[in-house]
Amino acid sequence: MNDFDFFIGSWNVVNRRRTSMFDGTDDWETFPATSVGRQVFDGGANCDEIVFPTQGWSGFTLRLFDTERREWSLYWASSRSGLLYPPVVGRFTDGRGDFYGDDTWQGRPIRVRFTWSDITAETARWEQLFSADGGETWESNWIMDFSRSA
């Protein structure tokens, strides 16, 4: 239930985001962010707000732990759209978290995967991947490298 305890506090973030998807290109943009995470329900939930100052918007993630199924549901919202996106669901195994869900990309259905890895007291990595073929192949489209803020 306390898998995300590492994420509580303030972080500096280096973002790498692919500029287009599913077209064979490999162009990325890099931009900064800051994030603050806090615990809710004694570790059974947590949330964070991430601010992208050069992009002019922010995001919010709510993570809820299902005590019966022993898995997390992660919900994302963006100030750009004002929408709460469908959750990705999963768990941590051997220090790595993998979370899967369904969504759409430019009107077509896709599978989504969030991966949390390289977790230490001072660093963490989040990666978002999309699959247009039901999870047979995955294309990374956003990587966030977190470092603990002073």
- Tens of pLDDT along the chain (150 residues) come to 889 999 999 999 999 999 999 998 999 999 999 999 999 998 899 999 999 999 999 999 999 999 999 999 999 999 999 999 999 999 999 999 999 999 999 999 999 999 999 999 999 999 999 999 999 999 999 999 999 997
Compute how many other C-beta atoms are within 10 angstroms of the C-beta atom of residue 31: 13
For the chain, give every domain's residue range.
3-17+28-148
The tally of CA atoms less than 13 A away on the side-chain side of residue 90 is: 16
pLDDT tens, position by position, 117-141: 999 999 999 999 999 999 999 999 9
Three-point CA angle 70, 72, 78, nearest 5°: 170
Contact 104, 110 (CB under 8 A): yes
Q: Could you tell me if 98 and 113 are in contact, meaning their C-beta atoms sit under 8 angstroms apart?
A: yes
* Selection from 137, 113, 128 nearest residue 22 by Cα: 137
As given in the structure block, the two tokens for residue 47 are 């949330």
Q: Which residues pair with 11 in a beta bridge?
A: 35, 148
Question: For 3-17+28-148, which CATH class?
Answer: mainly beta
Give me the residue label for tokens 């005590």.
Answer: 67
Determine the pLDDT at residue 111: 97
